[in-house]
């Protein structure tokens, strides 16, 4: 179990040029969240849902990790099991920064992967449209019931169990770039001995009085100071 847990949201990838869920412009503005991100959308609105995630995959193809991804990747690779990087994001910028896929927890799925609803096979299609890989059919069983490997609102998110386990042995929680509306961080921060919050601005869903240190700034401006706090805690715990 990790002594330090970093929980990141869309804010950490925004500086790499990825549009965030609550932005009023960009890719998200072209679609209704209820139509393409909610349980059942692959039944009631399958074509548009597939189209949306195809576009998000294309958007991701040329994006590069920023300084925050790289700093956290360096720490993860140095401290291994003592540091858990858990992200709500479905992009692969942490992987591009150097974290091995098995050493990263994606709470809500991964954009470059798809899952067969017939045989449950999960495989990577890179930045391609779903239809461009094996004609959109499962590479394992040939079924045409293949979906983005994304957890929709209202669906089960198995990796939340991993988050819960890591929190149990955590002495420092670092929350970066999340509104707190999907994953409630107040209870975690209240429960854990030490905690740090970094967002661009206050969120109505987060009580920042529960955090020892609060940085309202771009993550790339404060990540070095946050990294110092992380490393200090990890060295002290050894």
CA distance 38 to 133: 25
DSSP 8-state code for residue 22: T
Q: Which of 67, 69, 106, 108 is catalytic?
A: 108
CA distance 194 to 233: 10
CA distance 68 to 9: 12
Give per-residue burial for 114-132: e unless 16+ CB within 10 Å, then b: bbbeeeeeebebebeebee
Containing 109, the helix (H) or strand (E) segment is strand 109-116
Residue 37 assigned as binding residue: no
Residue 138 assigned as binding residue: yes
Residue 141 assigned as binding residue: yes
108 in catalytic set: yes
Q: Which residues are annotated as a binding site for Zn(2+)?
A: 116, 119, 138, 141
Q: Which residues are annotated as a binding site?
A: 116, 119, 138, 141
List, by residue number, the catalytic residues.
108
């Amino acid at each position: 179990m990790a002594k330090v847990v970093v929980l990141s949201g869309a804010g950490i990838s925004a500086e790499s040029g990825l549009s965030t869920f609550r932005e009023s412009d960009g890719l998200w503005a072209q679609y209704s969240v209820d139509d393409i991100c909610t349980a059942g959308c692959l039944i009631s609105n399958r074509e548009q849902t597939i189209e949306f995630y195809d576009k998000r995959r294309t958007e991701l193809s040329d994006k590069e990790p920023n300084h925050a991804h790289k700093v956290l990747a360096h720490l993860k690779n140095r401290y291994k099991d003592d540091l858990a990087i858990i992200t709500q994001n479905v992009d692969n910028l942490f992987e591009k920064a150097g974290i091995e896929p098995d050493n990263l927890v994606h709470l809500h799925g991964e954009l470059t992967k798809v899952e067969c609803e017939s045989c449950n096979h999960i495989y990577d299609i890179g930045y391609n449209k779903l239809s461009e890989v094996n004609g959109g059919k499962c590479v394992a069983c040939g079924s045409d019931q293949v979906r983005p490997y994304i957890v929709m609102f209202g669906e089960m998110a198995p990796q939340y169990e991993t988050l819960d386990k890591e929190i149990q042995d955590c002495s420092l929680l670092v929350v970066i770039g999340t509104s707190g509306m999907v994953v409630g961080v107040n209870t975690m921060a209240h429960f854990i001995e030490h905690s740090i919050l970094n967002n661009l601005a206050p969120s109505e869903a987060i009580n920042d009085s529960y955090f020892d240190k609060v940085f309202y700034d771009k993550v790339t401006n404060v990540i070095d100071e946050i990294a110092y706090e992380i490393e200090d805690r990890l060295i002290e715990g050894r």
